[in-house]
Structure 1
Amino acid sequence: MITLPEGTDLPDRDDVLGQAISFDRTRWIPLLPDPTWWPDELDECPKAGRWPRVDRRTVFNVARRTDTSPGRRHLLVAALVWGTGTKAQSVNRRGRIFKQSASEVIDARLSAALSVLRERGAAKAYFAFNNDQHIPHLGAAFFTKVIYFAGHETLTTPYRPVILDSVVSRALKAAKGVDASWPENGWSTDQYGQYLASIHDYALRTGVLPDQVEAALFSYGKQLP
């Protein structure tokens, strides 16, 4: 059972949806198979200082088009941009996804994994992205973002998909949501399912949505040594 430190506030859903990350369009476009992979919504993001900033709400809007191949491409790119920031090294690391695999392969695996999400749920989609539908260089920290944006607002059973990365994982362990052997990365499907169960239990007990709990864990994890 998750036990967050006393005084930890769960963020409002509006605050979660407004969580924004800066990005540099000029670093991304050369890494994509072609410019059509770039979603128009990212060009409409407001600037804060030097960079535009994309928030969760915008990526959710992009995710509403995942019934088409261009829409799935746009979701992948938007989720990567939201999760990466402006550092050239980080952006280039994400760019390996598109360098390693042909567009047709990415399309086919995205389509198959997201079909699993709709038909069989988040844990099965996690397994798909981690196995038969694995896209090289797209690890769990990022494909759970794709799963999250594709399904958190529309799929409620058995569990809404939620992001799992090393920061959240570290906080989950510190908050006693999992046992002491829990890894900071490389989670199995069963471990992702355990994470979903812990998140949903806490959300149910506190009357919030699961991504509010995930956001609180992320904030807590950032403060851990």
Structure 2
Amino acid sequence: MPPLHIPSEEEVLGQGFAFKPSWWHRYVEPPWWPEALDRLPEVTSRPGYRRITRRDVFALSVDPTPEGRVGLLLGAYIWGTGESAFLVGRRVRTFTRTPLETVGKRLVNAADLMHTAGPIAAYESLLSRQDNHVKFMGPAFFTKYLYYAGGLQPTMQPQPLILDKFVARALNANFDGWALRDNGWSGATYGRYIRLAAEMAEQEGPPATPAGVEFALFKARP
């Protein structure tokens, strides 16, 4: 096992970024815009900015309706984009190029599938040309959705985790036998990754968690 420092749950949940709600609000309006985003803490040194953490995004996961699932995905996009305003115009296409009613229905279906058949089946259903695929949403963001839709206390094993290019590069750099591309991973590859994270957390022992392993990999990216 590589010498990765696995952070505490509090450190994981506290990972956050500053953003301007106006960057996103112009594209996604109520009832799809979660009111909770307007109550996030302001960044006092940066007028117009608020801070969003993993814990804040998890708070959006309690609403299982299509509107709630779109709001959760939006929270994941905001958190995953952070201060990179130049990326917003490209990333909002997930919300503007497909009717949000359709997006919401597919997100509900994917979350339900995850809770019945597991995260690998849900992952595969969101891939291109599959039943729950949403145009312009790739694995880097739909794994964020699955991670947050699993809730703070996920019951499925292995647990859903975020897989993006930074985690993929860290896997390549820290483990033998990994040679992942920056995107386009199969369901089998996703399953291999989340099982590895579960095994590492179990070997480390409490309070290590699979999400802590994911965050450790993110921080260890080359």
Note whether the superposition's TM-score is higher than 0.5.
yes
Answer yes or no: is the 8 Å Cα contact 2:61–2:151 preserved in 1.
Answer: no
- Deviation of 1:17 (Å): 0.4
- Indicate the SS of the match to 2:52: strand
Q: Displaced runs of 4+ in structure 1, greater than 4 A?
A: none
After TM superposition, the structure 1 = structure 2 runs for residues 1-225 of structure 1, keeping only pairs within 5 Å, are 3-5=1-3, 8-32=4-28, 34-48=29-43, 49-50=45-46, 51-65=49-63, 67-130=64-127, 131-176=130-175, 179-207=177-205, 208-221=208-221, 224=222
- Report Cα offsets for 1:156-179 as digits up to 9, x if no partner: 332110000000110011111x62
The 10-residue stretch of structure 1 (197-206 or 37-46) with the greater mean CA deviation from structure 2:
37-46
**C-alpha displacement of 1:90:** 0.9
RMSD: 1.5
Name the SS for the 2:17 alignment partner: strand
| Inter-CA distance 217–152: structure 2 relative to 1 (3 Å threshold) | farther
The 1:89–1:104 alpha-carbon spacing in structure 2 relative to 1, beyond 3 Å, is: same
C-alpha distance after superposition, 1:157-213 (max 9, x if no partner)? 32110000000110011111x624322211000000000111111011002110000
State the alpha-carbon separation in 2 of the partners of residues 155 and 144 from structure 1. 14
How far, CA to CA, are the matches of 2:178 and 2:210 in structure 1? 23
> How many positions carry a matched residue from both structures?
215
Q: Offset of 1:36 from its aligned partner?
A: 2.4
Mapped partners of 2:120, 2:172: distance in 1: 19
TM (norm. structure 1) is: 0.90
Shift of 1:41: 1.8
TM-superposed CA distance for 1:152, in Å, is: 4.9
Long gaps (5+) in structure 1 = none
Paired amino acid for 1:172: L
Question: What does the per-residue CA deviation read over 1:46-88, in whole Å, with 9 as the maximum and x for residues that have no partner?
Answer: 12321211000111111111x2222112101111111011333
* Structure 2 residue identity aligned to 1:214: E
**TM-score, normalised by the number of residues in structure 2:** 0.91
**Which amino acid in the other structure matches residue 30 of structure 1?**
R
Letter in 2 for 1:188: S
Structure 2 SS opposite 1:53: strand
For residues 155 and 177 of structure 2, the distance between their equivalents in structure 1, rounded to whole angstroms, comes to: 26
1:45 to partner: Cα distance: 1.5
Contact map agreement 1:151 1:161 (CA 8 A) in 2: yes
Unaligned runs of 5+ in 2: none
